[in-house]
Amino acid sequence: MENFRFLVEDDINKIEKHLGGLFNITNDVLNDLNVFLMGNSKRIRSLIALLYLKANEKNISESVINILSAGEIIHNASLLHDDVIDNAEYRRGSVTISNKFNSEISVLSGDFLLSYAVNYLIGVEHKDILNLFINATRLMSEAEIEQYIKRNNDIKIQEYLQIIYGKTASLFETILMSCAIITNLDVEKAGEFGKLFGLLFQINNDMSEDSIKNDKINGVKTSVDIAGIEKTNDLKDNYKEKMRAILEKMPDNDYKMALKDLVNSL
Ligand code: FPP
Ligand code: MG
């Protein structure tokens, strides 16, 4: 999936420079937090947004880089909380902060990161964008509460889709909408593209071997448990078609081709 990173490498590097230089103090926890932030991430949210903007012939401004930096920070903060909730031992091939230190440190590290995301968002100076991100973090937490409460229950596919929209797709949607606002693109269309990508991304994550094992331990029901493999694939195809329809209307270039390939790979 990260094969297309070279198309937007310079911009991803700018985001990584932000992420790598966040803290002006050091201690044992922050050193590890820095390693976690910089290690082995696909930066998939930024990658999709950058490809989408470039496919639509938009320049990548400082504001876009700030929006994407905030998106990556919020995502990483949510993982530090998620690994506590899921009792996860490993993340991105390394021992989790909650495993290496403890749950308290992991939760506090997530809180600590969130303050930096707010800083970047305030720097963008756009009230609608700030509101979108506030709404996304609310939806993420709400969905995690919902998922937790419904552990070990038989849930309907609509309930599952609402949960993965909240916990994963809403942030993709917000990032794409914010990028569209700042570059004068169709905000609704960009949001739809981000949302569909996020839904497919989470459905695939839930179908991976590691996730199946951990979800079983935690009593989390996912699409294949609820609807079976065939209906899950039908649902995925339906989302992909909607994404292709959005791509169809965009100018032909390498960035659009990359997005098309990414959709096919989902
Ligand atoms: C991963 O799900 C988790 C998320 C996508 C969202 C987690 C959100 C919270 C814990 C709410 C707190 C939010 C903020 C902004 C601090 P997963 O467990 O299915 O995926 P995994 O296999 O990658 O762990
Ligand atoms: Mg998890």
Question: What's the pLDDT band for 25 if we cut at 50, 70, 90?
Answer: confident
pLDDT over 70 (residue 252) = yes
For ligand 1, mutation pick of 36, 40, 44, 79 (most atoms within 8 Å of CB): 79
Average pLDDT over residues 40-63: 97
Find the CATH number of the domain harbouring 187. 1.10.600.10
DSSP 120-188: HHHHH--HHHHHHHHHHHHHHHHHHHHHHHTTTS---HHHHHHHHIIIIIHHHHHHHHHHHHHHT--HH
DSSP 65-83: HHHHHHHHHHHHHHHHHHH
pLDDT over 70 (residue 1) = no
- pLDDT (tens digit, 9 = 90+) per residue, 94-146? 999 999 999 999 999 999 999 999 999 999 999 999 999 999 999 999 999 99
Average pLDDT over residues 157-185: 98
Asked whether 32 lines ligand 1 (CB < 6 A), one says no
The domain of 89 spans 2-265
Radius of gyration of the chain (CA): 18
Predicted pLDDT at 40: 84
Predicted pLDDT at 64: 98
- How high does pLDDT run on average in the chain? 96
Q: Which residues surround ligand 2, an ion (CB under 5 A)?
A: 82, 86
Asked whether 140 lines ligand 1 (CB < 6 A), one says yes
- pLDDT (tens digit, 9 = 90+) per residue, 148-165? 999 999 999 999 999 999
Q: Pick the residue whose CA is nearest to atom 7 on ligand 1.
A: 78
d(Cα 148, Cα 152) in Å, to the nearest integer? 9
Q: What is the pTM of this model?
A: 0.97
Predicted pLDDT at 2: 58
Asked whether 141 lines ligand 1 (CB < 6 A), one says yes
Find the range with the poorest average confidence among 172-181, 208-217, 235-244.
208-217
CB neighbour class for 73 (10 Å; exposed up to 12, middle 13-18, buried from 19) = buried
Asked whether 204 lines ligand 1 (CB < 6 A), one says no
- pLDDT (tens digit, 9 = 90+) per residue, 71-106? 999 999 999 999 999 999 999 989 999 999 999 999
* Token pair listed for 151: 């552990």
What is the count of structural domains for the chain?
Answer: 1
- Closest listed ligand to the CA of 114: 1
b/e per residue 152-182 (b: at least 16 CB within 10 A): eeebeeeebbbbbbbbbbbbbbbbbbbbbbb
Predicted pLDDT at 146: 98
Predicted pLDDT at 255: 98
Predicted pLDDT at 24: 86
